[in-house]
Every structure is written in structure tokens, then in C-alpha cells.
Chain A
């Protein structure tokens, strides 16, 4: 059974850093693109970043130069290092497996429950 389990969220002050994790099980990790999608309180969904098995990484403009996505193949875990955090980064961060059956990248078939990140002074 495919499972994506996020952890590492918390309450931090603006300008500080936090690293959240996504532990993946039940799939051949090295074959899948994994994404981060976030949801601000009471708001909709926003794609944040992706990491692919071939080393490709991509970010939404608002987090470029602040967030770094990485993956550890031996631990089957994806990380999101968030630096210079801002109040508007407050959200639940979900990791998501890219769906490979659609014929095109960028959609998801399994998402985790998320980890809550609150940026507040």
C-alpha cells in the first residue's frame, strides 16, 4: 500500500528555517517524481516544488532561492528545506506522488495528510 507520511512541521519565527520530511513506502521510490503541495489556512491548494529521480528539481517562483527540495534514495524520503520563512508560507505541506498514467507530468494520484507549518512572530 502506497504511503506518504509528512513530519517536521511546527511554529517558527519569520526569517528562520525549517526542514520537513516525507517518508514514502509501498512504491519503487527511485522511479517516482515526488511533489510538495501546500494549503494555507482556509485557502486552496498551491503546488510548491518537485524532485525527480534524475535529479531534476523545480519550484514555484515565490519559494525559489529560499526552499530546497531533496531526496534520499536509501531512506526513501523527500525533504523540503525552507529558509527565510515568511508569514505567507504558513500552510499545511502535503507531499504527493506524481501520477504516471496521465501521459503528462504534473498531476498526482496519492497525497499525504500533511504537516503544519506556522510562521509567526
Chain B
């Protein structure tokens, strides 16, 4: 199975900050990489697919980049509503697997 490693596991940042989360795959997944946001007690929400394409309705402050094994999720201008845990997921082959998550706290 392909292992997905996210870093950091948690971070604290201020409103307006630029925040970057990294996700590394244990083998090449091309651009078959998605990002999700999850708030406590809620269903995960799809943010990005194909490494860099925003789902409909996702604010433009979110962006994704990367290909192969190294990917990033960037939030440009952190907002209070962005407090959540973020997961990457590859869908290159089955089983699809997720990263361990990055919890973002607003200072």
C-alpha cells in the first residue's frame, strides 16, 4: 500500500497568515491527490482534487500543488473558519490511502 505522510501534524497560526501543509507519498502517485477538511463531529469536506483543482465553492485562498511524491496545501490569508484538520489522500491505485492529518488551530 502507498503510505501518505503529512507534516506538520499540528500547527497554530494567526488570522491572515499564509499556512502550508506538506504531504509525501511513498511512491509516485502522479497528480492523483486530493485534500479534505474536517471539523470536529462533521463529515470530511472535499477541497481539492488532481493535486491543484479546487472543488466548486471552495474559497480561492486554498491552493494545492505538486506531483509525483511531494504535495502542498496552502491557505493564503488564514480565516477563523479554517480551524480544522486537513487530510491528503492519494487515488492512484487501490487501496486509496490518507495522510495522518494536520490540525490547524487559530491563535
CB neighbours (8 Å) of B87 from chain A are: 44-45
User: Per-position contact with B for A87-121: 1 when CB-CB < 8 Å, else 0?
Assistant: 00000001000010111111111111110000000
DSSP majority for the B interface?
A: loop
A100: min CB distance to chain B, Å: 11
> Bound complex: CA of A108 vs CA of B45, how far in Å?
9
Query: What size tier do the contact residues of chain B reach?
Result: 20 to 34
Interface contact A104-B91, CB-CB below 8 Å: yes
Q: Which of B34, B42, B100 contacts A107 (CB 8 A)?
A: B34
Within 8 A of B (CB), among A47-69: 47, 58, 60-61
B46 at the interface (CB under 8 A from A): yes
User: Per-position contact with A for B18-29: 1 when CB-CB < 8 Å, else 0?
Assistant: 000000000000
Answer whether A44 and B34 are a contact pair too, CB < 8 Å, given A102-B49, A108-B46, A109-B46: no
8 contacts between A and B (CB under 8 A): A46-B97, A47-B96, A47-B98, A61-B95, A102-B32, A104-B32, A109-B49, A111-B44
Chain B residues with a Cβ under 8 A of chain A: 32, 34, 36, 38, 41-46, 49-50, 53, 55, 87, 89, 91-92, 94-101
Chain A residues with a Cβ under 8 A of chain B: 37, 44-47, 58, 60-61, 94, 99, 101-114
Given contacts A45-B101, A61-B95, A107-B91, 11 further A-B contacts (CB under 8 A): A44-B87, A44-B99, A44-B101, A46-B97, A47-B96, A58-B94, A102-B91, A106-B32, A107-B34, A107-B46, A109-B49
